[in-house]
Amino acid sequence: MENDLILRVRNLCVTLDHQSVIEDLSFEVTKGDVLTILGPNGAGKSVLLKTLLGLLPYRGVIEWAKGIKTGYVPQRLPFIKDIPLSIKDFFMLKKPSQKETVESLSSVGYGEDFLQKKIGDLSSGQFQRILIAWGLVGKPQVLLFDEPTTGVDISGEETIYNFLATLKEERALTILLVTHDLSVVYKFSTDVICLNKQPICYGPPQEVLTPESLQRLYGGEVKYYQHKH
Amino acid sequence: MDSQFFLSLVVGTFIGGAAGYLGSLMLSKRMALVAGPLGHLTLPGIALALLYGFDVSLGAFPFVILGIVLIWLFEIRTKLPMEALTAIVFASGVAITFLFLPIEQAEAALVGDISRVHLTEAIISVLVAILLYFVVNKIYPKIILINISEELAQSEELNIKKYNLIYLGVIAIIVSLGVKMVGGLLTAALVAIPASAARNVSRNLVQYAYGAMVIGIISSFLGILLYKLAGLPPGPLIILASTLIFLISLILKK
């Protein structure tokens, strides 16, 4: 694989329960990119992320650069609050050293004292940060992020995206992010894939997010796009 | 203390502790109630053991395995929810039993009888319970991760099928041991109640898992002690002791 190329996807097709979810998708990710996967609900965005992680069967080519470690931050974990789990317990499921746990926690702005807190007592913003910290254990070079809850203030004015931008610089991360929030794409991404089962556009957002492509993506419901001034 | 009573007490506390510990894992996957149908399905096996005079756990074990295989097959073949499938298996187990088990022997099958356990049987049960503890201890964090999210577990490259298989295996063993103590009807309670009580009062995983184990031990000890004092069947008394602890845990709930 060429220098700095982290991921190459060619002619990817995913079929689940005899229904085609992703058709003929090709793209590439280079080191330091923030690739946003944009599309309406049910467009196959999360399926794409899971397929890239090797969790779902597919046809086509998914080629990661050698030695690449990925961290996965899931959309939500509905069953986690059924179990009396402290943050320390949650990290221990991954068996990191105490030092690494503390480092990951401090990357998301929490001290060691936070380890004793119960997961069930966290606010949604705090929980989101903990999920990111968990994804950072093992020092991944690529973070795959499934639809962070938009509008959650994770501390004061800081949104999850400002926070991710800072984290990306600090840890030299490459980020693949699923969202249906258009504003995120302009603020944060180097590239965007518009996906509605079939790929609709792919490239830098300022170039490929045209009113026409958005219309095709969302079917006439779009009221927001950024003008190129 | 007479030796028979002592044997019952030792076997009871070991099985109760192992069941409570495993129960904490099962409750987190909403699997606790699966022990119910599996317990019921052991009834034909227990009936055979009682009729032909061999260890009820030995009779129960192949039927639990059969139950697990059936539930697994049904799950693959149909899209019915797990509860519906287990209900089918569960009712069938009871129905088959009462086709051939004489009614006078029904009590031991339904609510167990730990009071007549033999020495060899006791030693084997205790050793199996200890082994079970170590296996559950080993798979505990993996199953918790799978319970939280199979995708997250897969992304950590965990072999989910392998761990689920071991997990079902230990469930089969605990159900087989449990029926000896509390019978086919009450086995689900043996795993579910101590874990539920522990969940009410714990703030982390260690408190929860070991809390469930300790509550399992105390309930079995109290139940068998009460049997000695009151002369009522030990199986239901063990379950009622754990229910009492559960009620106390509700008051102490954080």
Under an 8 A CB cutoff, do B144 and A93 touch? yes
Q: How far apart are CA B179 and CA B156, in angstroms?
A: 37
Burial class (CB in 10 A: 0-12, 13-18, 19+), A152: middle
pTM: 0.85
Look up the CATH number of the domain holding residue B22. Answer: 1.10.3470.10
Q: How far apart are CA B75 and CA B87, in angstroms?
A: 13
The answer on A126 and A176 residing in a single domain is no
Kindly state whether residue B226 falls inside one of the protein's structural domains.
yes
Parent domain of B26:
3-129+175-252
Under an 8 A CB cutoff, do A72 and B152 touch? yes
State residue B170's pLDDT score.
93
- Strands A174-179, A142-146: pairing kind: parallel
Average pLDDT, chain A: 84
The residue with tokens 């119910």 is B36
pLDDT at A213 over 90: no
The answer on A59 and A46 residing in a single domain is yes
Pair B205, A89: CB distance under 8 Å:
yes
Kindly state whether residue B149 falls inside one of the protein's structural domains.
no
Q: Which residues of B218-245 are buried (b: 16+ CB within 10 A; e: fewer)?
A: bbbbbbbbbbeeeeebbbbbbbbbbeeb
Kindly state whether residue A85 falls inside one of the protein's structural domains.
yes
Mean pLDDT within A16-25? 89
* Number of C-beta neighbours around residue B30 at 10 A: 13
Number of domains in chain B: 1
Mean pLDDT within A11-15? 93
Kindly state whether residue B134 falls inside one of the protein's structural domains.
no
Q: Closest by alpha carbon to A176, among A140, A138, A201? A: A140
Phi then psi dihedrals of residue A3, to 5 deg: -55, 140
Kindly state whether residue B37 falls inside one of the protein's structural domains.
yes
Sign of the Cα torsion A20, A26, A31, A32 reads negative
Mean pLDDT within A6-17? 92
State residue B90's pLDDT score.
75
Number of Cβ pairs < 8 A linking chain A and chain B: 62
- Give pLDDT tens digits for B188-245: 899 999 999 999 999 999 999 999 999 999 999 999 999 999 989 899 999 999 999 9
* Single-letter code of the amino acid located at B205: L
SS3 labels along chain A: CCCCEEEEEEEEEEEECCEEEEEEEEEEEECCCEEEEECCCCCCHHHHHHHHCCCCCCEEEEEECCCCCEEEECCCCCCHHHCCCEHHHHHHCCCCCHHHHHHHHHHCCCCHHHHHCEHHHCCHHHHHHHHHHHHHCCCCCEEEEECCCCCCEEECCEEHHHHHHHHHHHHCCEEEEEECCHHHHHHHCCEEEEEECEEEEEECHHHHCCHHHHHHHHCCCCCCCCCCC
Q: How confident is the model at residue B97 (pLDDT cuts 50, 70, 90)?
A: confident
The answer on A40 and A25 residing in a single domain is yes
Please report residues of A whose CB lies closer than 8 A to that of B145.
Answer: 93
Under an 8 A CB cutoff, do B203 and A55 touch? no
Among residues of chain B, what percentage have pLDDT more than 70? 94
Q: How far apart are CA A35 and CA A48, in angstroms?
A: 12
Kindly state whether residue A216 falls inside one of the protein's structural domains.
yes
Residues of B near A (Cβ–Cβ under 8 Å) read 27-28, 30, 141, 144-145, 147-149, 151-152, 154-156, 199, 202-208
* Residue count (chain B): 254
- Give pLDDT tens digits for B101-157: 877 778 878 888 888 888 998 999 999 999 999 999 999 999 999 888 888 888 888
A82 to chain B, any CB pair closer than 8 A? The answer is yes
Parent domain of A126:
78-138
Under an 8 A CB cutoff, do A83 and B155 touch? no
The residue with tokens 């950024």 is A226
The answer on A147 and A126 residing in a single domain is no
Residue A68's alpha-carbon distances to A138, B86, B156, in angstroms, are 11, 43, 14
Under an 8 A CB cutoff, do A92 and B141 touch? yes
Q: How confident is the model at residue B82 (pLDDT cuts 50, 70, 90)?
A: low
| Closest chain A CA to residue B202 | A84
Number of domains in chain A: 2
The answer on A150 and A61 residing in a single domain is yes
Q: How confident is the model at residue A150 (pLDDT cuts 50, 70, 90)?
A: low
Q: Which residues of B99-130 are buried (b: 16+ CB within 10 A; e: fewer)?
A: eebeeeebebbbbbbbbebeeebbebbbebbe
Q: How far apart are CA B133 and CA B24, in angstroms?
A: 12
The answer on A199 and A188 residing in a single domain is yes
- Among the partner-chain residues A50, A84, A94, the one whose CB lies closest to the CB of B202 is A84
The answer on A172 and A150 residing in a single domain is yes
pLDDT at B33 over 70: no
Query: Which tokens belong to A41?
Result: 């609900």
Range from A1-5, A199-203, A207-211, B196-200 carrying the lowest mean pLDDT: A1-5
DSSP class of B226? H
The answer on A185 and A86 residing in a single domain is no
Strand partners, A61: A10
The answer on A201 and A156 residing in a single domain is yes
The answer on A2 and A62 residing in a single domain is yes
**A positions 89-148 inside 8 Å of B (CB):** 89, 92-95, 116, 118
Q: How confident is the model at residue A149 (pLDDT cuts 50, 70, 90)?
A: low
Q: Mutating which of A89, A92, A121, A143 best tests the B interface, going by the most B Cβ atoms within 10 A?
A: A89
Among residues of chain B, what percentage have pLDDT more than 90? 44
pLDDT at A226 over 60: no
Distance, first Cα to last Cα, chain B: 39
Q: How far apart are CA B109 and CA B97, in angstroms?
A: 9
Kindly state whether residue B158 falls inside one of the protein's structural domains.
no
Under an 8 A CB cutoff, do A84 and B199 touch? yes
Q: How far apart are CA A114 and CA A129, in angstroms?
A: 12
User: In angstroms, how far apart are the furthest CA atoms of chain A?
Assistant: 52
Range from A83-87, A178-182, B65-69 carrying the lowest mean pLDDT: A178-182
Q: How far apart are CA B209 and CA B207, in angstroms?
A: 6
Look up the CATH number of the domain holding residue A61. Answer: 3.40.50.300
Kindly state whether residue A73 falls inside one of the protein's structural domains.
no
Please report residues of A whose CB lies closer than 8 A to that of B27.
Answer: 82
The answer on A146 and A212 residing in a single domain is yes
Residues 6+ apart with CB under 8 A from A218: A40
ipTM value: 0.82
State residue B254's pLDDT score.
63
State residue A154's pLDDT score.
54
The answer on A180 and A203 residing in a single domain is yes
- Strands A19-30, A70-73: pairing kind: unpaired
| Closest chain A CA to residue B208 | A84
Under an 8 A CB cutoff, do A79 and B207 touch? no
The residue with tokens 């779902």 is A56
| Closest chain B CA to residue A81 | B148
Please report residues of A whose CB lies closer than 8 A to that of B202.
Answer: 84
